Amino acid sequence: MSFCNKCNYSNRGRNTTTLQNHLRRTHEVEYTNFPTAIRQGREEEADDSGYMATRTLTAGLENKINDLVVRFFALPNISLNAVESAEFKRLMAAASPDYNVKSRRTVTSRIIHLATTAHHDLKARLQAAKSFSVGIDIWTAPGMSKSYIAMTAHFYDEQYERLC
């Protein structure tokens, strides 16, 4: 739920992005200070938790954290709503107080970029393949009425090193 102390605006079931949009439209001064207030709030939460990271956030470290956050949400198929949850923000504040947690939209666009990059990499590796082998398996799960089929392909270069 987002709540504006200035005008008593509230919107149940929403997140800080909703409040940020409200501030931008209605209270320009508060909107200007919004990112600073959020960052200070996260640092206070990190202090309260008893855990505080001591590393300085460099550009390289921020890029590494961004990449790890994207992979965290992309690979095990975790809901992107968790990016904007208070618990995730507390975790990131404890890990690196200077790190600015990215929005759900930013993480989504980075997941798409990651998938596109992986697709192009795989395509290039497959085009370099000189030979391949294919295995097929068909089964029905016990007590189930559904059947499954799986196909696995391995691609090799000229020295019979497996590409994927």
Q: For 123-161, what is each residue's pLDDT tens digit? A: 888 888 888 888 999 988 777 788 889 999 888 877 877
Q: Contact at 8 Å (CB) between 149 and 136?
A: yes
Q: What is the pLDDT of residue 12?
A: 62
Q: For 81-122, what is each residue's pLDDT tens digit? A: 889 888 888 888 888 888 888 999 999 999 999 999 999 988
Q: What are the structural domain ranges in the chain?
A: 2-123, 128-156
DSSP code at position 15: -
Alpha carbon distance 24, 33 (integer Å): 10
DSSP code at position 98: T
Tokens of 159: 């020295």
Nearest to 43 by CA among 102, 99, 97, 101: 97
Q: Which residues pair with 151 in a beta bridge?
A: 136
